[in-house]
Structure 1
Amino acid sequence: MIPIDLQILKYIFMEKPIYYFKMKPYFQTSEYHDLCMYITNRSDTQNSDRLDKRDYTVFDLETTGFLPEIGHEILSIGAVRMNGNSEKLDEMHQLIKPIRPVPNHILSLTNLSRDALNQAPSFLEGFQRFLTFSENSTLVAHPAHFDVRFLRAMVKRWKLPEYSPPCIDSQQMAKYALPDVSHRLDPLLHYFNIHSLERHHALNDANMTADLFSELLLIMKKEHNITTYSVLQQLLNRQKS
C-alpha cells in the first residue's frame, strides 16, 4: 500500500485536477442548481426532543477507502427509516458511480461489480435520493464520525452548500451503555443476538445497525433514564471530549 504522505501528494497533484475536470460538467446542470437550493432550504427540525417521538435514518456507506479528503469515494448508500418505537418504516439502497477506477480489493470486499457501478447514477443523484429519504429525521451511523464525515467531505468536494445534519453515533452510545463490550459492530451484534446479514453491504449493515440502535435506546431509557435527544447528545459529547 502507498504510504499516506505519498497518497496525499498523489491526490493533490494528480487526482484532484482529474476529479474537478470530470465533475465540472455537472456544475452547469439544472439538477445541480436544484440540489443546491434544496440543501440550502432543507429543514431537519423535528417536533419533539423526546427520543421516542423522533424519526431516525440509520445508514451505512461503502467506500473506496477511509479518507475522502484525499479522493476516496462513496460506492453505495444503505439506509433504514425508523421511528422512536423501533418500527422500521422504509429502506433504500443506492449505488453511486465513482469518478475514479475502483481498486480490485474494494470490489471483492463489497461484492460490487464494475458494470453495476458504471451504470449507477452520479453522487449528485444518489445524494439527492438520500436527502429526500432522510428529511426531517436524525441520522444514525456506526460510527457516525466516519459516515457523516465522509458525506460532508463529498458535499464539499462537489461544491454543494454545507451539510450539517443532526446525528447520533451508535458506537459512542455503545461505549457508554456497555463499557465492558467491544464497541465494534460485530461483537455488539453477537452480544444482542441480532441476526447477522452479509457484511460490507450498505443496506445489510444499515439494517443491523438499526436493530442495534433499538437495543441501545432501550438501555439508555431503562438503565440511565435518558429520554431526550438533547441530553443524549450532551452525554456523548462529554464522552468524546
Structure 2
Amino acid sequence: MREIVLDTETTGFDPETGDRIVEIGGVELYNHIATGRTYHQYINPERDMPQEAFEVHGLSIEFLSDKPKFAEIAQAFLDFVGDADLVIHNASFDMKFLNAELKWLNMPPIPYERAVDTLMIARKRFPGSPASLDALCRRFGIDNSARTLHGALLDSEILAEVYLELIGGRQPDFGLSTEAAGSGPGGAEVWRPMPRPKKLPPRISDAERAAHEAFVAKLGEDALWLA
C-alpha cells in the first residue's frame, strides 16, 4: 500500500480570497515504511504575501519570485502522488488549496476520500487532548527541535513519524506477507524499501543509556548484551 505524507504552506487561509500555495512537501510510504522518496517544491504564488506569512514560513516574495508557478509543477506533483492516499494533518485545509489550484488549471480535483486526516485520528484516539503536530511530537517523544519555522518537507517528515505512531507504531502490520521474499505474483519483483538517506537520531537520553550500561555491568561477563 502506497501513501504520501503531505504538507502545504500557503499565503493565507482561503483560496477563494486569492490565497495561494507557496510550498509543497511529501514523503512516500510503502506498507507504512518510508522509502526515501520525497517531493519538495517552492512555488511562486503570483501575489504579495502578508508580513505574518514571511515570519511563519521564513519566505519572502523576493525568494519566491523566481520559483515556478503552480501551473508549471502541477503535473509533476500529480505524477509523484499518483493514486496513493494522502496523509495530511488537518486534511480539509490542504485539500481545499490543492483542489483550488487544480480547478484554476481546469484539471480534475483530487477526491477527498483519498485523504487520511491525522488530526481526526489523533482527536479520536486522545479526546480532549491537544492534537497539534507539536503536541503529538511531545506525546510520542518525536524530536521536532528543527521545526523553528513551518516548512512543508520537514513537517511531512515529522508527520510521517507521528502517523506511524498514531496507527500503532513503526510496523503496525508486522510486515507479514504470504509472498516469497524477492518475488511476487507471476515472478515479478516485490518492492523493498530503500535505506534511509540519514539515520534517525537516537530517542534515548544519556541518563537512560547510562542506567542501561550500569544494569548490564551487574549481570556479569556472560550478559547477552555483551555478546
Q: TM-score, normalised by structure 1?
A: 0.65
Q: CA deviation at 1:114?
A: 2.5
Determine the structure 2 residue equivalent to 1:226: none
Determine the structure 2 residue equivalent to 1:144: 91
Determine the structure 1 residue equivalent to 2:54: 107
Higher helix share: 1
What does residue range 136-215 of structure 1 map to in structure 2 within 5 Å? Answer: 136-164=83-111, 166-196=114-144, 197-198=146-147, 199-215=149-165
1:54-81 residue CA offsets vs partner (Å, 9 max, x unmatched)? 1110111110101111111000001111
After TM superposition, what 4+ stretches of structure 1 lie above 3 angstroms from structure 2? Answer: none
Question: What runs of 5+ residues in structure 1 fail to find an aligned partner?
Answer: 1-53, 223-241
Alignment match of 1:86 (pick from 27, 33, 46): 33
Determine the structure 1 residue equivalent to 2:12: 65
Alignment match of 1:134 (pick from 81, 85, 108): 81
Give the Cα–Cα distance (whole angstroms) in 2 for the partners of residues 113 and 162 of structure 1: 28
Give the Cα–Cα distance (whole angstroms) in 2 for the partners of residues 106 and 162 of structure 1: 26
Q: Which has the larger radius of gyration?
A: 2
Give the Cα–Cα distance (whole angstroms) in 2 for the partners of residues 164 and 125 of structure 1: 22
Q: CA deviation at 1:159?
A: 2.7
Q: Structure 1 vs Structure 2: percent identity of aligned residues?
A: 33
Determine the structure 2 residue equivalent to 1:77: 24
Secondary structure (helix, strand or coil) at the match of 1:126 reads helix
Q: CA deviation at 1:201?
A: 0.6
Go from structure 1 to structure 2 and tell me whether the alpha carbon gap of 1:179 and 1:84 turns closer, same or farther (over 3 Å shift): farther
Q: CA deviation at 1:205?
A: 0.8
2:27–2:34 Cα contact (<8 Å) kept: no
Secondary structure (helix, strand or coil) at the match of 2:167 reads helix
Secondary structure (helix, strand or coil) at the match of 1:59 reads strand
Secondary structure (helix, strand or coil) at the match of 2:168 reads helix
2:27–2:157 Cα contact (<8 Å) kept: yes
Secondary structure (helix, strand or coil) at the match of 1:154 reads helix
Q: CA RMSD in A?
A: 1.8
Q: CA deviation at 1:180?
A: 4.4
2:11–2:53 Cα contact (<8 Å) kept: yes
Give the Cα–Cα distance (whole angstroms) in 1 for the partners of residues 87 and 66 of structure 2: 28
Counterpart code for 2:34: E
Secondary structure (helix, strand or coil) at the match of 1:90 reads strand
Counterpart code for 1:132: D
Give the Cα–Cα distance (whole angstroms) in 2 for the partners of residues 132 and 158 of structure 1: 16
Go from structure 1 to structure 2 and tell me whether the alpha carbon gap of 1:127 and 1:147 turns closer, same or farther (over 3 Å shift): same
Q: CA deviation at 1:87?
A: 2.5
1:181–1:188 Cα contact (<8 Å) kept: no
Q: TM-score, normalised by structure 2?
A: 0.69
Counterpart code for 1:142: H
Question: What runs of 5+ residues in structure 2 fail to find an aligned partner?
Answer: 173-227
